[in-house]
Every structure is written in structure tokens, then in C-alpha cells.
């Protein structure tokens, strides 16, 4: 960056806006005026010359500029008695981006450089001409909002530049997967800290080998994952979605077909792609030693690390994050194995279609499963809950152990309330552990840790009061947590409280502001006495003025901090001090008037010098205290894990018991059970039933291997088909994360290895894929991934193309799933004709259901799932026109729709001659054979190695008449 300039050519202009935009902005400004935030939108003048403009323009030409937003940290003098105030500026395209996504005021100031960026050489972005380089300024009040929005919502990198010795330097940087510089801001929400994944894919003779190394720099975790994948990279898609990765590191040639495939997965899972050189994925001899430095162990114990793909990915990851370069990371990290077989596979499409996690469009907390279940009272508990929802278990014993814990908290109401009351006093241990590792912990933070340790015996004693067979199960979670808390109590008490009492000055703490104990050092003690004397003299000056002006103690107060000292008086008596030559006004509001006296200015200067000496003397001692506190880091990390789990179990119990109809414990059958069945009795959709004004209709669902393997579900539009198939899937997920389910007692869930979904019909414009192509790609992934232990939900397959082609595909896919895949499937459709499959002896495990409705004067939805045993498929109508009536369509449109519907129906009836009907069986059999053959080709077609044109040609060849 060039040297900072001293002159300016800044002008203020507004970009052209329509009258509607002006009206909207006026309303927004009025709303801002009410909460006092317009000052944050004020565009301050910044002095920069042409060299700064050239620097920004050059920076914007960089190929990866669009991935990064740059803020400039600046300072200004507010008053002579206070320190410089920090504010921020953003320039060029970044200023336009901030205005578009966060403020939308369209009001900029401009830097000009004659001949390069001025009225005659406008700066053009998105077709809008600017007479100079636009910029905005904002205060720290908006800084956190912008940081979170850029990194978490828009998945961009962020850099903070500041003036250092008249040169601009980058002082902070972050990416969606590496949030180390902004952890304190990010941790204020329940959002999972950023995870960056490094991916190495190797093509063997018969399979693709995928190695992943991932890191959560906020929680100090490095993970390893290794697996074989198919041509669709379906396992990679699921693994990245379940890790909730924010950034992916790759080194794939753009000519390689895998390149577009991986980018497509990144786009679906909203992962930022960072491309590295191939040399970055070359393993160094020091790799294992470097990881051991980070973990403090003698070797890497994770078996996945022995996979060459994983090791190469780990090398790229560690170098990219520069973990070894920071000694504060040493011995603070732990390694973790992510074994894909241990979790139910949930890809990004399934997570989105089932609303498992919140989305920006959610209006209410209960719109997502996470929002419904998140009654956690600690931040680590909420973050761990997100992980559990993304990673349902497949091991029966682990699921039963979780259900045991939920049952204990359901039955022991007093225990649940005691634990939740204690957990509410626990601070955010995630951020405190992070600050311990970075040696950024403060005296106030130490007191938060102290308060946390004080709750340990309370929680332990509450758990010890419970006595039943589940609490004495040595293999159970309850017994394990109790033992862990006993060990932690022994590690913390009485050593840690004694350390805090020795290190901090608890007796003289004012307004919960803590400092080091002066008795730690003789020199510090002497300075502390000077500081106390200085404060005493300022108090005497304040009392003198109170007596002279005859004001009460609570009307005139002395305010002092490390940065400033002043006197403050209430508005009622402010007239005595305003315009008085004996007092120096410092400003204020109608409610408060701030001022200082010349004598107090002298005393304040002495106080400031004493404070500086105290801080300088205490810094060296504080470093030693930080080191001692840091030795407890691993204990606090273990405590965080234990308390987060307790928080989730208490939350599950709270949701289960407070529902209008309490949740029940499901019967869990193992993945390899011989009697493989799912029987949900009167199950409900947990997120829909809590909506206001909803009288939810319960429905049962039975899957078995006799005649209920694949359910074809028909019924009217808005009849509840989509809700039904989703609620079945969500009940299975709830069971496998270890939560009670909204159903009746006796409900059975056989563990599923995956839930695959094809729900919704929106274009994938960003990926250049149409509705029908998206349907085909997702269906292909289902066919190539599903096993006989998978639960599949498909909604309205085939509506992205013509009716005949759609029906043909739907028919062939249902037939394939029934005959070959043998996966439990819920297939919601408007193709009522699919019920003829039940007449096929090879599809005897297909059953037909429909959503019940009654058509009298108007269509009435009953939302009940019933057996579809009607023989005439034409009588099973979708009632689209009747639904349009309910939506208050204009009568003319309804009349024309009815007329055309009857015309088409009569044409179809005329073409169905007796001879044609006689040949139906033979022709349909031949047609089914052809469709089955085509579908086999479809299932085996390697989409990943083909371009979109080749895929389109394949579909047209085999599925177009």
C-alpha cells in the first residue's frame, strides 16, 4: 500500500434513485431515527489523494478481488480529554456492496483523481456512473453487523487495513472457514464457528478415494476423514454438509471433470472455494511432528491420517491456516476422526428440504427443527445441537444411551430445572477457551471462569440425587458424565478458586471491574496506593463542587475510566454549570451534561500517569497469570463438552414434555435388524403442529418388507402430501439423534443409513441448471447412492417436463426402487395412474395411499392418509381447479379452466377404443420393459464425467419419444 496522503478531493453526491426507492429509504431513515442509529450512517470526510485512488483501482483489478471485502480502520480526535475514536471506511466496489446489502441508502462521498477517476472518467459499476471513487464510512456500532454478514451470510473474505507508519498494512484478515481474527464477534451468536476443509481426491483403478482434513480454529480441532466415493461424489456432498464446512481448499485441474463436480457441490452447500497450487498438497517430512506440536502428543493416533490423501490434505490445511507459525496454538489442539459410517448420510438438499437448520427466510424460531429443539441455555449447547442434527447416529447403543438421558430428564422434573438454572450461570466457554489459548484472557474473563467453577459442585450434587437403573449403568452417558464431573471437581477445587483469590483484587472491585491483586508485587502495591490516592483526590474535588453548588450526591457524579475523567450532572441542575466560566463543558445530552474543572484536569492527568504505570507494571505479572490460568485450558474444554451435552438433553426433555401432546421414546432397532420396519403411530410434524391456529392431523406410517416398502401417495394440491413425507423423515431423524419423537407410544424406528430426498422444483440458475435437469441429477444421485437401509422421500418427480415424459420417468423410477433398490420410499405424486404398479407381481411391496378430501359445495381437506383402494384411477382427482377456487381465482379463469378440462377429458375418452383397451396389457408390459431398461442405463450413467450437453443428449435419447 502507498503512503497515506494529506490532501483531499472529496465531494458528496447521491446516485440516481427512483421515487419508490426514495420512499423506501425515507421510511428506513425514519425507522433508524427512532433507534438513534443515523449517526452510524453519516459519511465522514476522508483526506486521501490520487495515489490512494490508484491503489484501490489497482486492487480491484486483481482476479480474486470479488471474493474479498476490505475495510480501512481510521481514527479521529473527538475531544482533547479523550482518546482517538475509531471508525471505518470502505471504498469502490466494496462500498457499493456494503450499501447494497446492508444499508441501501445510495449516498456516497467520492475521491477524485484527475484524468483517471473524475467527472470526465467516471467510475462505472453495474451500469451506474459515479463521478469519482465512491466511499462510505461507519462507526464500530455497525462493524460487528458487517463482519458477520460478510463472513457468514455472503461467504466472502474480509481484510482490515490500517495506517502504520504512514503506510497501509493489513492488520486482520479472515475467511468463512478461518475466523480466528473475529472469534469474539462470531461467538456472540449460536452460529457454528467456521470450518475449513482441505480435499484431496485420487482416482484408483475402480474407485475414487477422497481424503479430507478439516479444522475448527475457534474450538481448536483438527479432523480427518477418508472414504471411497462414487461418480456422483455423493458421500463427499454429505460429509461436507454434515461438517457444516464454510470454506474448501482444492487443487483440481480445471480440465478435470471432477473440477466442475466439486464446484457444484460447493455451490449447493454454500462453501467458499479456495484453489491452491498442487505443491501445497505435497506432504512434508515434518507433517506429523507439526501436528504433534499442535496437540502436545507424541504421535497422531487417528487411523485416517495413514491415508496418503488425508495426509496431503492435512499438509495444505495446516500451511494455509499457518497454525504452526503461532506458538499459542501449541498443545491446545486436539485431533478427531470423522467416520462417515457412524452417521446417517444427509446431503445439502435433504437438510434444506426438511428445514433442519434455520434459513434467512425463516420468520419464526420454530420454522426449523433446530429452532424448535434449541431450548439450550448455553451457547456451546446450541452449537453442539447443530452438529447433532446434521449428524444423526447409526449405532443403536449410542442412540439408546442418549434416549436414556432424555428419559431421565423427562422423569426428573426437579433435576431438569436445577441443571438448567445452574447452566444459565455458565459463560460461553468456547470463546473463553479460545482466549486462553491466545493469551488474550482478561481479569473479567478469569472471574467468569471462577463463576463457572462455582457451579460445578451444584451440578454434580443435583445429578447425584438421582437414583435409578439408568444412572447406575456404567456404559451409559449419565454415569460417564458424573465421573467426568468428579474428576473436574478434583482438578479445579480448591486450586482454581485459590488461584483467583490470590491473583485478583476482589475486595476493591467496583462495578464488577476487576484488576490484579496489588499484593502480587511490591512495586505494583506501591503504584496501586498512588492510584488509590489519586482517585481519593478526584473524589474530594467532586465533593467540593457538590457543596459549593448545593447539589445532591446522586445529581453530580465523578466518572473515571482508563481513557477519560469528567464530572456528570443531570439535566435538572445542568443550568448551574452550563455557561459557567469555572467549568469547562465537554458536551452531553438533554439528560446529562458533562464538564471538568481546571483542578480536576490536573488531578486527571496524575490519575492517567498512575494508571499507565500500573498497567505497565501489571502487564508482566498478567502474562504469568495468563500462563497459569491457561494450564487449566484442557479441563475447561472437557467441562464445556460435558455441560453442552447436559444442556442438550435438558432441552430435549423440555421440548418433549411441554408439547401439547408429549413426545414419546421410540423403540430403536439396529441397522442390521432382521425385522426391518418403521412403524410411526399417529406421528406429527413437530414444526407444523406448534404453529398458531393449527389443529394438526396425526397420521401413522408403516414400512415393512411384506407389502409396505414403497408408498405411492396421491391426493389434492394442498392436501398435505409434502408435510406427511417430511414428518416421517423428521421423526426418523429425531430418533437417531437421540430425542423423543412426536408420535404415540410403541412407535418403532429401524436405523437408516441415509435419508435421500428429491423435494421442490426450483431452477438452479447459479449452476446453469434447469428445473428438470436438477430433478434428474438429484434422482440419479439417489439411484446410485441408496441402499436397502435408506429412507427415500420424493415429491412431485417429473413435473419439470411434459406430462407423458414425467409419468414415464416416475413409473420407471418407482419400479426400479421397488424391484432393485428395495429402499423404504415415500413417493408423493399427482400421477394417480402409478397405482397400476400394485398389479405387477414383481412390485408386490408397493402400496398406494392418498390424502383424504371431500368435495361437496367446496373442497374440504381432511389431511388424513388412507388406503387408496379405488379401482377407477380417474376418480382419484387432484382437484387443482377446486384448490384455485379456494385461492379466490377470478370466476372467468375458473370457468375457462373447467371447460378446457372437460374438453381434454372427452378427447382422452374418445381415443380409448375397445381394441386399444384390449391391447393395453401387452403394450404396457412392453413399455414398462423399455422404461426399466432405460432406467438401468440412467442409474449406471456416469454424470460426473460428462458435460451438461452430453447429459442432455443422453436424456433426450433415452427418455424422449
In-domain check, residue 705? yes
In-domain check, residue 371? no
Quick one: pLDDT band at residue 7, thresholds 50, 70, 90? Answer: very low
**pLDDT of amino acid 951:** 65
Q: Is the pLDDT of residue 919 over 90?
A: no
The last residue of one of the domains, among 879, 894, 924, is: 879
Q: Where are the alpha helices (DSSP H) in 440-521?
A: 443-464, 477-492, 495-503
Q: Is the pLDDT of residue 2 over 50?
A: no
Percent with pLDDT over 90 in the chain: 42
Same domain, 595 and 735: no
Same domain, 464 and 412: yes
**pLDDT of amino acid 765:** 47
Domain that holds residue 865: 667-879
In-domain check, residue 624? yes
Same domain, 292 and 432: no
**pLDDT of amino acid 235:** 92
- Three cell numbers at 148? 458477520
**pLDDT of amino acid 760:** 65
Pairing of strands 247-250, 272-275: parallel
In-domain check, residue 115? yes
In-domain check, residue 740? yes
User: DSSP per residue over 77-89, as a string?
Assistant: ---TTSPPEEEEE
Mean predicted lDDT score pLDDT of the chain: 83
Same domain, 487 and 621: yes
- Three cell numbers at 640? 464445556
Most confident of 62-76, 190-204, 666-680: 666-680
Cβ–Cβ < 8 Å for 178, 217: yes
Same domain, 612 and 725: no
Q: What's the whole-number mean pLDDT along residues 660-673?
A: 95
Same domain, 170 and 249: no
Q: Is the pLDDT of residue 205 over 50?
A: yes
Longest CA–CA span in the chain (Å) reads: 115
User: DSSP per residue over 855-903, as a string?
Assistant: ESSSEEEEEEEEE---S-GGGS---HHHHHHHTT--HHHHHHHHHHHHH
Same domain, 632 and 671: no
Backbone angles phi and psi of 515, in degrees to 5? -140, 170
> For residues 309 and 283, what is the distance between their CA atoms, to the nearest angstrom?
10
Instruction: Tell me how many degrees the CA angle 201-207-211 measures, rounded to the nearest 5.
Output: 30
**pLDDT of amino acid 687:** 94
In-domain check, residue 530? yes
What is the distance, to the nearest Å, from the Cα of residue 720 to the centroid of all Cα atoms in its chain? 29
In-domain check, residue 960? no
Q: What's the Cα-to-Cα distance from 398 to each of 342, 395, 668, 735, rounded to whole Å?
A: 10, 6, 11, 11
Provide the number of structural domains found in the chain: 4
In-domain check, residue 874? yes
> What is the domain-level CATH number for residue 237?
3.30.420.110
Q: Is the pLDDT of residue 222 over 90?
A: yes
Stronger pLDDT, 769 or 571, i.e. the higher one: 571
Cβ–Cβ < 8 Å for 853, 719: yes
The last residue of one of the domains, among 307, 323, 342, is: 342
List beta partners, residue 343. Answer: 393
Same domain, 640 and 690: no
Same domain, 297 and 329: yes
> What is the domain-level CATH number for residue 589?
1.10.1420.10
The last residue of one of the domains, among 828, 848, 879, is: 879
Q: In what order do the strands lie in the sheet with 592-596?
A: 556-560, 565-570, 592-596, 584-588
Same domain, 336 and 407: no
| Window from 29-38, 569-578, 642-651, 775-784 with minimum mean pLDDT | 29-38
> What is the domain-level CATH number for residue 847?
3.40.50.300
> What is the domain-level CATH number for residue 125?
3.40.1170.10
pTM above 0.95, yes or no: no
Question: Residue 231 class from Cβ within 10 Å (0-12 exposed, 13-18 middle, 19+ buried)?
Answer: buried
Of 787, 934, 924, nearest to 234 (Cα)? Answer: 787
Q: What's the Cα-to-Cα distance from 629 to each of 328, 433, 615, rounded to whole Å?
A: 14, 10, 19
Same domain, 433 and 550: yes
Same domain, 453 and 574: yes
Q: Is the pLDDT of residue 3 over 60?
A: no
Amino acid at each position: 500500500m502507498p503512503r497515506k496522503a494529506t490532501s483531499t478531493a472529496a465531494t458528496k453526491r447521491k446516485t440516481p434513485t427512483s421515487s419508490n426507492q426514495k420512499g423506501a429509504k425515507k421510511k428506513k431513515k425514519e425507522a433508524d431515527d427512532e433507534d438513534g442509529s443515523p449517526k452510524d450512517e453519516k459519511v465522514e470526510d476522508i483526506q486521501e489523494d490520487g495515489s490512494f485512488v490508484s491503489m484501490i483501482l489497482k486492487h480491484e483489478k486483481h482476479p480474486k478481488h470479488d471474493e474479498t471485502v476490505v475495510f480501512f480502520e481510521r481514527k479521529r480526535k473527538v475531544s482533547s480529554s479523550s482518546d482517538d475514536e475509531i471508525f471505518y471506511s470502505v471504498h469502490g466496489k466494496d462500498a457499493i456492496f456494503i450499501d447494497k446489502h446492508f444499508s441501501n441508502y445510495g449516498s456516497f462521498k467520492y475521491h477524485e483523481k484527475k484524468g483517471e477517476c473524475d467527472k470526465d472518467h467516471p467510475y462505472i459499476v453495474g451500469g451506474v456512473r459515479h463521478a469519482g471513487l465512491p466511499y462510505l464510512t461507519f462507526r464500530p456500532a455497525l462493524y460487528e453487523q458487517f463482519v458477520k454478514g460478510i463472513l457468514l451470510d455472503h461467504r466472502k473474505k474480509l481484510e482490515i487495513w490500517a495506517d502504520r507508519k504512514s503506510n497501509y498494512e493489513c492488520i486482520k484478515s479472515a475467511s468463512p472457514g478461518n475466523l480466528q481474527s473475529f472469534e469474539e464477534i462470531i461467538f456472540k451468536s449460536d452460529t457454528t464457528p467456521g470450518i475449513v476443509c482441505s480435499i484431496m481426491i485420487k482416482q484408483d483403478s475402480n474407485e475414487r478415494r477422497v481424503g479430507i482434513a478439516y479444522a475448527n480454529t475457534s474450538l481448536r480441532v483438527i479432523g480427518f476423514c477418508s472414504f471411497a466415493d462414487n461418480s456422483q461424489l455423493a458421500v463427499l456432498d454429505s460429509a461436507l454438509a454434515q461438517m457444516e464446512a464454510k470454506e474448501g481448499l482444492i487443487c483440481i485441474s480445471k480440465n478435470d471433470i471432477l473440477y466442475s463436480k466439486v464446484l457444484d457441490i460447493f455451490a449447493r452447500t454454500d462453501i467458499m472455494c479456495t484453489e491452491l497450487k498442487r505443491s501445497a498438497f505435497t506432504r512434508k517430512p515434518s507433517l506429523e511432528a507439526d501436528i504433534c506440536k499442535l496437540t502436545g502428543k507424541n504421535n497422531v493416533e487417528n487411523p485416517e491420517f495413514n491415508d496418503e490423501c488425508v495426509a496431503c490434505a492435512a499438509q495444505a490445511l495446516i500451511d494455509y491456516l499457518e497454525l504452526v507459525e503461532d506458538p499459542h496454538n501449541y498443545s491446545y489442539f486436539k485431533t478427531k476422526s470423522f467416520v462417515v459410517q457412524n452417521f446417517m448420510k444427509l446431503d445439502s438438499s435433504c437438510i434444506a428440504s426438511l428445514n433442519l437448520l434455520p434459513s434467512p427466510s425463516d420468520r419464526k424460531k420454530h420454522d426449523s427443527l433446530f429452532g424448535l429443539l434449541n431450548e439450550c441455555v448455553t451457547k456451546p449447547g446450541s452449537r453442539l445441537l447443530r452438529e447433532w442434527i446434521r449428524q444423526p447416529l447409526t449405532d443403536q447403543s449410542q442412540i439408546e444411551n442418549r434416549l436414556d438421558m432424555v428419559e431421565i430428564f423427562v422423569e426428573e422434573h426437579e433435576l431438569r430445572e436445577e441443571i438448567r438454572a445452574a447452566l444459565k450461570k455458565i459463560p460461553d466457554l468456547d470463546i473463553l477457551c479460545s482466549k486462553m489459548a491466545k493469551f488474550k484472557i482478561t481479569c473479567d474473563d478469569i472471574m467468569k471462569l471462577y463463576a463457572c467453577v462455582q457451579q460445578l459442585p451444584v451440578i454434580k450434587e443435583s445429578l447425584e440425587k438421582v437414583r435409578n437403573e439408568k444412572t447406575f449403568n456404567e456404559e451409559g452417558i449419565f454415569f460417564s458424565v458424573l465421573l467426568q464431573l468428579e474428576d473436574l471437581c478434583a482438578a479445579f477445587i480448591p486450586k482454581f478458586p485459590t488461584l483467583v483469590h490470590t491473583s485478583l483484587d476482589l475486595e476493591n472491585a467496583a462495578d464488577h471491574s476487576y484488576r490484579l491483586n496489588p499484593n502480587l508485587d511490591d512495586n505494583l502495591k506501591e503504584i496501586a496506593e498512588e492510584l488509590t490516592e489519586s482517585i481519593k483526590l478526584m473524589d474530594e474535588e467532586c465533593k467540593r463542587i457538590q457543596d459549593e453548588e448545593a447539589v445532591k450526591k446522586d445529581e453530580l457524579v465523578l466518572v473515571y475510566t482508563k481513557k477519560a475523567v469528567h464530572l456528570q450532572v443531570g439535566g435538572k441542575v445542568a443550568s448551574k454549570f452550563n455557561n459557567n466560566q469555572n467549568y469547562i463543558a465537554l458536551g452531553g445530552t438533554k439528560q446529562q451534561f458533562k464538564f471538568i474543572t481546571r483542578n480536576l484536569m490536573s488531578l486527571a492527568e496524575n490519575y492517567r500517569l498512575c494508571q499507565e504505570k500500573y498497567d505497565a507494571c501489571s502487564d508482566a505479572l498478567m502474562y504469568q497469570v495468563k500462563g497459569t490460568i491457561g494450564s487449566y485450558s484442557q479441563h475447561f474444554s472437557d467441562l464445556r463438552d460435558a455441560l453442552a451435552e447436559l444442556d442438550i438433553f435438558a432441552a430435549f426433555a423440555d421440548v418433549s414434555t411441554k408439547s401439547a401432546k408429549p413426545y414419546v421414546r421410540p423403540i430403536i432397532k439396529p441397522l442390521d435388524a432382521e425385522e426391518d420396519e418403521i412403524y410411526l403411530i399417529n406421528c406429527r410434524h413437530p414444526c407444523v403442529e406448534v404453529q398458531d391456529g393449527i389443529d394438526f392431523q396425526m397420521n401413522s406410517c408403516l414400512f415393512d418388507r411384506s407389502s409396505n416398502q414403497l408408498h405411492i401417495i396421491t391426493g389434492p394440491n394442498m392436501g398435505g402430501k409434502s408435510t406427511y413425507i417430511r414428518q416421517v423423515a423428521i421423526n426418523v431423524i429425531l430418533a437417531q439423534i437421540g430425542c423423543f419423537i412426536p408420535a404415540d407410544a410403541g412407535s418403532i424406528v429401524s436405523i437408516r443409513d441415509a435419508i435421500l430426498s428429491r423435494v421442490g422444483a426450483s431452477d438452479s440458475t447459479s449452476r446453469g441448471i434447469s428445473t428438470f435437469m436438477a430433478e434428474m441429477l438429484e434422482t440419479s444421485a439417489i439411484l446410485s447412492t441408496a441402499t436397502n437401509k435408506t429412507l427415500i422421500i420424493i415429491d412431485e418427480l417429473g413435473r419439470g417436463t411434459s406430462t407423458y415424459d414425467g409419468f414415464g420417468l416416475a413409473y420407471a423410477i418407482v419400479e426400479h426402487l421397488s424391484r432393485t433398490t428395495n429402499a423404504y420410499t415415500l413417493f408423493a405424486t399427482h400421477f394417480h395412474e402409478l397405482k397400476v404398479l400394485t398389479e405387477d407381481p414383481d412390485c408386490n411391496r408397493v402400496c398406494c395411499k392418498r390424502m383424504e378430501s371431500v368435495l361437496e359445495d367446496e373442497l374440504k381437506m381432511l389431511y388424513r392418509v388412507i388406503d387408496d383402494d379405488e379401482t377407477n384411477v380417474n376418480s382419484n382427482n387432484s382437484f387443482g381447479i377446486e384448490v384455485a377456487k379456494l385461492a379466490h381465482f377470478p370466476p372467468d379463469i375458473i370457468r375457462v379452466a373447467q371447460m378446457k378440462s372437460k374438453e381434454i377429458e372427452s378427447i382422452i375418452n374418445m381415443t380409448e377404443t375397445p381394441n386399444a383397451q384390449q391391447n393395453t396389457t401387452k403394450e404396457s408390459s412392453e413399455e414398462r420393459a423399455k422404461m426399466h431398461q432405460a432406467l438401468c442405463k440412467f442409474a449406471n450413467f456416469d454424470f460426473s464425467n460428462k458435460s451438461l450437453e452430453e447429459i442432455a443428449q443422453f436424456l433426450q435419447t433415452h427418455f424422449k419419444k
